[in-house]
Amino acid sequence: MSEGKLVIVSAPSGSGKTTVIRHLMEKIHNLHFSVSATNRAPRDYEKDGKDYLFLSTEAFQSKIENNEFLEWEEVYKGRFYGSLKSHVNQMLSEGKNVIFDVDVVGGLNIKKYYGEKALAVFIQLPSLTTLEMRLRQRGTDDETDIMNRLEKATWEMNFANKFDAILINDNLPKCLKDAENLVSEFLEKS
């Protein structure tokens, strides 16, 4: 059995990244989602190992100190998320292809670690105006959150050219098909 490969999908919030990942997992056989570790408590409906790998704060920080993460981030003060090398390497050794939903810095760190075994894809909207419109239509963020997300998106878009491929999501069906073709071709290469 050959070792699996990695697909990294990064994008500013509101670009359609989750929709692209769901589509890829539905259409491409043997594509498994990388479950992130976190130090937050599980919600009632969440299962350890399926939704997240739940760790204590002490265990999470110990793994940071021991360089056990491919990438990690303190998303909110005292709230950590990250991708464990051991978890990803286990899936790869089982011949599974792994897909990541990570921020741009985390995505580039994973790409650097795995090199040619990883395909890093950046999903981009045609403009910040389009992103602002989508964020407002979602209705999940207040004005401060929208402004913060737009500011972060502006910063994140500076990293796009460091990715292996940029898909512009100005037409969702086309973007989904392009993503499917790109990832399928990458996974089929030996």
Residue 50's pLDDT is 87
Is residue 35 over pLDDT 80?
yes
Within 10 angstroms of residue 72's Cβ, the number of other Cβ atoms is 21
Is residue 57 over pLDDT 80?
yes
Residue 97's pLDDT is 97
- Residue ranges and CATH numbers for the domains of the chain are 6-188 (3.40.50.300)
What tens digit of pLDDT does each residue of 63-121 get? 999 999 999 988 778 999 999 999 999 999 999 999 999 989 899 999 999 999 999 99
Question: Per-residue confidence at 13, pLDDT binned at 50, 70, 90?
Answer: confident
Question: Per-residue confidence at 1, pLDDT binned at 50, 70, 90?
Answer: low
pTM (2 d.p.)? 0.88
What tens digit of pLDDT does each residue of 112-150 get? 999 999 999 999 988 889 888 888 888 787 898 889 889
Mean pLDDT of 7-35: 93
Residue 137's pLDDT is 87
Residue 36's pLDDT is 92
Share of the chain above pLDDT 70, in %: 99
Share of the chain above pLDDT 90, in %: 70
